[in-house]
Amino acid sequence: MKKVTSMLLVLVMVLSLLTACGEQTEPTEAQGKTEAPTSAQSGETAAPTEQAGKAPEDYKGTLRVWSVWAEDDGATLWIDKFHEIYPNIELEFHKFSNNGDGNLALDTALTAGEVDVLMNFGIARVDARAQAGLLYDLTDFLAADGLDSVENWGLEDNIGGKIVAIPMGGNNDHIIINKDMWDAAGLGEVPTSWTLDEYYEAARKMTKTAADGMVEVYGCSNFHSIYYAALLARGYLGDNYYFNEDGTASTDQQVWKDAFEPNYNAEMVEKIQYPLIKYRDDGIQAYAPFYEGKVAMSSMTNAMTRRIANTDEYQFDFDITYAPIPTLYKDQETNYCEGIYYFTHLSIAQDCPDPELAWQFVKWFSTDGSVYFSNTGHMPTWKSVDRSAIVSVLFGSEEEAEKLIDVEAYKRVVLNYDAPTYVEYNTTASSKLGGTLNSWIMEMMRGNISIEDGFAEMKKEMDQEIAEALAQ
Amino acid sequence: MQTKKIGTINEQKRRDTITAWLFLAPTLISFGAFVVFPVFFSAFLSFTQWDFISGISSIKFVGIRNFVKMFQDEEVINALKNTFIYTVTIVPISLCVSLVVAYMLNDKVHFKKTIRMMFFIPYISNTVALATVFKGLFRSDGPINMVLRDLGVSELPQWFSDPNLAKLPIIILAIWTGIGYQMLIYLAALQDVPTELYEAAEIDGASPLKRFLKVTIPLISPSTFYLLVVRTIAVFKLFSSVKIMSGSSSERISTTLVLEIYRAAFGEYEFGYASAMSWVLFAIILMVTLVQMWGQKKWVHY
């Protein structure tokens, strides 16, 4: 019996080693591969779309779409509009959260061949999936349909001269303002451009402190996902803001400290900014203190607009207006935070059994149908999108929008398609750099380390992460 | 005639063996697939670099690099330190509290069953739910801080971001949830202590404290040893409560080795590195258990 058990264990071990070390065999049909698909890594070419002689209604089948928005979150509109053109393509939405666990679920489904179309959030995700050969090469589809990626989305390529993901959705960072509080503080006209000093001056005036010293209303808030200190730094640095020209971490540049120190003072010394520690420790969403009237203005992305438009769940009992993210320096010529940066990238899975069918949806949703994507609060990036229709898609009509927000300011600040923005072309260790930035920011905020030493340690750790990523 | 009988017996034995194997097969297959294979595969992976999304062919042999990296990785060293802090605080405190509760409940007390149930409920409750409740209790504007404010504390503690406090809610939760089970084991052990021994000690003039120290403690030492071993292993594997309660601001302060393993594997897709960490954790737990086994000869009375 002992011998049999030992033999079994040895057999399992040997098999596992052999399986792991073995060459990858050619994909079989059972794995969901078709004759035409190509790998973004392999350098093969994709089969062109068979447009000739095929009407939209001739495309038949079901697509499994992995998205953070399902039918209940706005996808019903996309499905209805898509069916007006492609009545015979069924869209089956699978919802995932854009966090570590959600993306793990998506990656597992991708490797198991359970995905046809997917949304990638952030270029780092696109890069990782493309490197792993999980995304279908769209270059030939684009060429066959005469869609120039630069003309349509301002995109040259994703990876190695190929396009495996269309950056069809973007975000805009801005300051959302409680106009009632702004007016009550006698601040006059909301600026169309301003510096950080002017921003904090306004925050100072809007902060309300009770007799016992407790802050009742913070003048401002700057909890912005991982971009707490990065927001102003990237507004100054632009593309690849995490990196110096030599490829090392840019956090040794003075601009990072200049961006962080005012935040620290506003929060820890003056107490005019909603505490970052409170957001993080209590798991408070960025929108919540603004919605609850606990902050007078807050840095925000356009995703907030969906909440404002959702009057069933959220009732903002004050007027809302918008201002751009302030510049860090008075003489700063360009503010890269004003424009719309890529965020949502649409891809076809490499194992999709019918890439041509999937392309019909990807193409539609990245072009004509992209306007409907704005019902999520995110921005379509297609250059030819009907910008005036975005407000109507979100709010029903401009008149309805006027009841909730300052439409003129919204169009000028949030729908600022022509303003400069930044692109993260360099994705080296990108998933780690944000986490490292966050950790050291928190250490400095807690006073566990001086700002000088904190940034020195941050730089050291980031350089190490970059070097490790490059060595792999 | 004799040969025929032996043949029948052998045939019956063979059938019995086949039947036994068939009954065992479902368990053996699942044990092989979900325990044996992952164990050996993770041992193999610990010497490799692999992100699962690139497929099995992307596995790259890297020798002992993952193990070397681990001992240079400040996060892992920090996680290891935290794990030891949790162990040396949670295990003794929870055992002591459980013993006291069990000792009290072993006596004649009102609402014995109700009290026992109240202590046991946290043990059978979902840790995620409990951790969420605790997180709410220790929020910066949560009930605990509100009470402290009413008591006149001006600088309210930041429970999850103050390095001196961040582990405290996790430790309290782990102690609280463990009491129920440990109390039951101790109750059973206490009821097994012969009453004659107490009577004899009383006749000899031993005080209640002396009786507890000289009679009760030695006689329940096998239970204490069992609880010490299982509780130590459990605390070394502390995960869900830390994952829920340590916000992103306190990750570094309260993280554990298991959390780092999870992060490396499912956050960074560094399955080789995560496997190496798992084996180091296994080695540590094994070592600690062996030390406990060796030490028990000196203080456990069977």
Shared domain for B129 and B32, answered yes or no, is no
CB atoms inside a 10 Å sphere around CB A343: 23
Confidence (pLDDT) at A41: 35
**Does B42 contact chain A (CB < 8 Å)?**
no
Contacting residues of A for B259, CB less than 8 Å apart: none
| Structure-block tokens of residue A169 | 């959705």
Question: Structurally, how many domains does chain B consist of?
Answer: 2
Pick the CATH number of A55-171+341-403 from 3.40.50.800, 3.40.190.10, 3.90.870.40, 2.60.120.340: 3.40.190.10
Distance between A374 CA and the closest CA of chain B, angstroms: 30
Confidence (pLDDT) at A5: 47
CA nearest A124 in B: which residue? B268
How many contacts does A have with B, using Cβ atoms within 8 A?
Answer: 98
∠ at Cα A381 (A378, A384), nearest 5°? 130
* Interface contact flag, A132 B40, Cβ < 8 Å: no
Q: Residue A344: helix, strand or coil by DSSP?
A: strand
Shared domain for B97 and B232, answered yes or no, is yes
Q: Is the pLDDT of residue A11 over 60?
A: no
Residue with tokens 């990065």: A230
**Does A281 contact chain B (CB < 8 Å)?**
yes
CA nearest A132 in B: which residue? B54
Residue A233 CA from chain centroid, whole number? 18
Percent of chain A predicted with pLDDT > 90: 64
Q: Reduced to 3 DSSP states, what percent helix, strand and coil does chain B have, rounded to the nearest 5?
A: 75, 0, 20
**Residue type for position B251:** E
Q: Is the pLDDT of residue A171 over 70?
A: yes
Confidence (pLDDT) at A44: 36
Shared domain for B104 and B198, answered yes or no, is yes
Q: How far apart are CA B249 and CA A441, in angstroms?
A: 9
**Does A379 contact chain B (CB < 8 Å)?**
no
* Interface contact flag, B140 A12, Cβ < 8 Å: no
Q: Is the pLDDT of residue B32 over 50?
A: yes
The arithmetic mean of pLDDT across residues A16-37, rounded, is 35
Residue with tokens 């506003």: A266
DSSP class per residue in B176-234:
HHHHHHHHHHHHHHHHHS-HHHHHHHHHTT--HHHHIIIIIHHHTHHHHHHHHHHHHHH
User: For residue range A293-340, what is the model confidence (pLDDT) as tens digits?
Assistant: 999 999 999 888 989 998 989 989 999 999 999 999 999 999 999 999
* Interface contact flag, B56 A281, Cβ < 8 Å: no
**Does A134 contact chain B (CB < 8 Å)?**
yes
Point out the residue among A111, A277, A472 whose CB comes nearest to the CB of B249: A277
Q: Is residue B56 part of a domain?
A: no
> What is each CA distance from A383 to A150, A166, A168, A170, A173, in whole angstroms?
9, 13, 10, 12, 19
Considering only A54-58, A122-126, A221-225, B142-146, which range has the smallest mean pLDDT?
Answer: A221-225
* Interface contact flag, A277 B158, Cβ < 8 Å: yes
Distance between A364 CA and the closest CA of chain B, angstroms: 28
* Interface contact flag, A131 B54, Cβ < 8 Å: yes
* Interface contact flag, B139 A282, Cβ < 8 Å: yes
Chain A, residues 74-133, CB within 8 A of chain B, namely 100-101, 104, 107, 110-111, 128-129, 131-133
Contact A94, A67 (CB under 8 A): yes
Domain that holds residue B11: 2-45
**Does B132 contact chain A (CB < 8 Å)?**
no
Confidence (pLDDT) at A382: 93
Confidence (pLDDT) at A23: 38
Shared domain for B10 and B119, answered yes or no, is no
State residue B199 phi and psi, 5-degree precision: -60, -45
**Does B267 contact chain A (CB < 8 Å)?**
yes
If one compares A446 and B86, the residue with the highest pLDDT of the two is: B86
> What is each CA distance from A441 to A196, A230, A289, A410, A437, in whole angstroms?
19, 10, 21, 31, 6
Shared domain for B84 and B170, answered yes or no, is yes
Q: How far apart are CA A166 and CA A370, in angstroms?
A: 11
**Does A13 contact chain B (CB < 8 Å)?**
yes
Contacting residues of B for A19, CB less than 8 Å apart: 56
Point out the residue among A134, A438, A446 whose CB comes nearest to the CB of B161: A446
Q: How far apart are CA A195 and CA A324, in angstroms?
A: 10
Query: What is the CATH superfamily name and number for domain A173-339+415-423?
Result: Periplasmic binding protein-like II (3.40.190.10)
Element (H, E) at A347: strand A340-348
CA nearest B266 in A: which residue? A104
Q: Is the pLDDT of residue A73 over 80?
A: yes
The arithmetic mean of pLDDT across residues A31-47, rounded, is 33
If one compares A462 and A223, the residue with the highest pLDDT of the two is: A462
User: In DSSP terms, which residues pair with A386 in a beta bridge?
Assistant: none
Burial of A239 (0-12, 13-18, 19+ CB in 10 A): middle
* Interface contact flag, A448 B249, Cβ < 8 Å: no
Widest pairwise Cα distance in chain A: 88
| Structure-block tokens of residue B163 | 């390095």
DSSP class per residue in B243-272:
HHHS-TTSHHHH--HHHHHHIIIIIS--HH
**Does B260 contact chain A (CB < 8 Å)?**
no
CB atoms inside a 10 Å sphere around CB A141: 25
Confidence (pLDDT) at A194: 96
Shared domain for B17 and B104, answered yes or no, is no
Strands B48-49 and A166-178: unpaired
The arithmetic mean of pLDDT across residues B89-113, rounded, is 92
Residue A29's pLDDT band (boundaries 50, 70, 90)?
Answer: very low
Confidence (pLDDT) at A282: 82
Shared domain for B37 and B94, answered yes or no, is no
Q: Is residue B71 part of a domain?
A: yes
CATH number at residue B148: 1.10.3720.10
Considering only A95-99, B159-163, B237-241, which range has the smallest mean pLDDT?
Answer: B159-163
User: For residue range B257-285, what is the model confidence (pLDDT) as tens digits?
Assistant: 999 999 999 988 999 999 999 999 999 99
**Residue type for position B5:** K
**Does B239 contact chain A (CB < 8 Å)?**
no
**Does A5 contact chain B (CB < 8 Å)?**
no
If one compares A428 and B287, the residue with the highest pLDDT of the two is: B287
Residue B10's pLDDT band (boundaries 50, 70, 90)?
Answer: confident
Contacting residues of B for A33, CB less than 8 Å apart: none
* Interface contact flag, A23 B57, Cβ < 8 Å: yes
Residue with tokens 């400069």: A420
Confidence (pLDDT) at B279: 97
Contacting residues of A for B54, CB less than 8 Å apart: 131-133
Residue with tokens 């601040």: A187
**Does A278 contact chain B (CB < 8 Å)?**
yes
The arithmetic mean of pLDDT across residues A204-211, rounded, is 95
Distance between B140 CA and the closest CA of chain A, angstroms: 7
Q: In 3D, which of A368, A375, A403 has the Cα closest to residue A391? A: A375
Confidence (pLDDT) at B1: 56
CA nearest B41 in A: which residue? A16
Residue with tokens 């490499």: A350
**Axis crossing angle, helix B74-106 with helix B168-192, rounded to the nearest 10:** 40
User: For residue range B165-209, what is the model confidence (pLDDT) as tens digits?
Assistant: 889 999 999 999 999 999 999 999 999 999 999 999 999 999 999
Contact A422, A239 (CB under 8 A): yes
User: For residue range A372-385, what is the model confidence (pLDDT) as tens digits?
Assistant: 999 998 999 998 99
Select from A281, A440, A461 the residue whose CB has the most chain B CBs within 10 Å, as the one to mutate to test that interface. Answer: A281
Shared domain for B40 and B72, answered yes or no, is no
Q: Is residue B113 part of a domain?
A: yes
* Interface contact flag, B247 A280, Cβ < 8 Å: yes
The residues, ordered by sequence, that sit 6+ positions from A101 with a Cβ below 8 Å of its Cβ are B266
Shared domain for B210 and B284, answered yes or no, is yes
Confidence (pLDDT) at A404: 94
Q: Residue B5: helix, strand or coil by DSSP?
A: helix
Q: Where are the domains of chain A?
A: 55-171+341-403, 173-339+415-423
